[in-house]
């Protein structure tokens, strides 16, 4: 079984400031890692994913995340945020294929609030 | 290319009733997954369909069921509605099964049970 902990339920930040949204996970098997964004009244949109290889992953809208296996973390960062980045962000893990069970586990979400 | 569409977008039902939600995946996508999103429990996986067969099921009671048609469109049904079933129900489609295939989410159906 897997679990995902997003350490901050809400992160307020001023426009053009850097931001980090934290995500830790636990799993007894190898996992793929994902970050999604959800804007009000919309579904989720994939920001980035870590499948293998380089531990620094770049995604859309200037976001990046670093996979740290020893700390079982996958923190999301952006060097300079915009008002339009205000949204809910979800970290998720999915086990490597094991008998076809691909059930993903999501964190509770972090609300990023960007102030002018 | 049109995105994932879900109908209806909003629904109000009373306890004990049943409801059917519909999802049309992106053209060419064969895998459809359903999720329940609530403030208390967050996002939880309901089930995954591929080639008209349920491939995975989350930890939900038998009142929650679904199906997929030959054109990949999917429906989910909740019978004997309870207050706790009030949630945003999200559908996601992907080309094929597995986490290597990006999931594209619809806007959801917001179900309110009174």
- For A47-78, how does the pLDDT look when each residue is reduced to its tens digit (9 = 90+)? 999 988 889 999 999 999 999 999 999 999 99
User: Are residues A44 and B44, on separate chains, in Cβ contact within 8 Å?
Assistant: no
Q: Give the list of residues 6+ apart from residue A99 with CB closer than 8 angstroms, or none.
A: none
Best B5, B99, B107 residue to mutate vs chain A (most A CBs within 10 Å) = B99
User: Are residues A109 and B42, on separate chains, in Cβ contact within 8 Å?
Assistant: yes
- The rounded distance, in Å, linking the Cα atoms of B64 and B72 is 19
DSSP reduced 3-state for B81: coil
Radius of gyration of chain B (CA): 13
Interface residues of B toward A, Cβ cutoff 8 Å, are 4, 42-45, 48, 55-56, 58, 90, 92, 97-100, 102-103, 105-108
- The rounded distance, in Å, linking the Cα atoms of B71 and B49 is 12
To 10 degrees, the CA torsion angle through A83, B92, B95, B68? Answer: -160
Q: Give the list of residues 6+ apart from residue A14 with CB closer than 8 angstroms, or none.
A: A114, A115, A116
Confidence of residue B94 (pLDDT cuts 50, 70, 90): very high
What pLDDT shows up at residue B52? 94
3-state secondary structure A11-44: EEEECCCCEEECEEEEECCCEEEEEEEECCCCCE
What pLDDT shows up at residue A98? 57
Q: Name the residue among B45, B102, B106 with its Cβ closest to that of A43.
A: B106
A92-106 confidence digits (pLDDT tens): 999 876 555 678 899
The neighbouring-strand residues paired with B75 are: B22, B67
Q: For residue B6, what is the nearest residue in chain A, using CA coordinates?
A: A43
What pLDDT shows up at residue A101? 66
Best A37, A43, A51, A74 residue to mutate vs chain B (most B CBs within 10 Å) = A43
A7-62 confidence digits (pLDDT tens): 999 999 999 999 999 999 999 888 899 999 999 888 999 999 998 888 999 999 99
What pLDDT shows up at residue A59? 95
B40-83 confidence digits (pLDDT tens): 889 999 999 999 999 989 999 999 999 999 999 999 999 999 99
User: Are residues A43 and B105, on separate chains, in Cβ contact within 8 Å?
Assistant: yes
User: Are residues B92 and A44, on separate chains, in Cβ contact within 8 Å?
Assistant: yes
């Amino acid at each position: 079984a897997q679990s995902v902990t997003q350490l901050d339920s809400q992160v307020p930040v001023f426009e053009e400031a850097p931001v980090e949204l934290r995500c830790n996970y636990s799993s007894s098997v190898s996992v793929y890692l994902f970050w999604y964004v959800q804007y009000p009244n919309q579904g989720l949109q994939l920001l980035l994913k870590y499948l293998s290889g380089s531990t620094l992953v770049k995604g859309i809208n200037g976001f990046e995340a670093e996979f740290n296996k020893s700390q079982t973390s996958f923190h999301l960062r952006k060097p300079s945020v915009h008002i339009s980045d205000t949204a809910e962000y979800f970290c998720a893990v999915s086990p490597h294929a094991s008998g076809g069970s691909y059930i993903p586990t999501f964190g509770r979400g972090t609300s990023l609030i960007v102030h002018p | 290319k049109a995105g994932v569409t879900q109908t209806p977008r909003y629904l109000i039902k009373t306890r004990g009733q049943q409801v059917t939600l519909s999802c049309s995946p992106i053209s060419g996508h064969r895998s459809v997954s359903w999720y329940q999103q609530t403030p208390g429990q967050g996002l939880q996986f309901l089930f995954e369909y591929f080639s008209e067969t349920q491939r995975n099921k989350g930890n939900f009671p038998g009142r929650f069921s679904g199906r997929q048609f030959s054109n990949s469109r999917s429906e989910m049904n909740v019978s004997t509605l309870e207050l706790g079933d009030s949630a945003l129900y999200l559908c996601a489609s992907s080309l094929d099964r597995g986490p290597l295939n990006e999931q594209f989410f619809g806007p959801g159906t917001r179900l309110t049970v009174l």
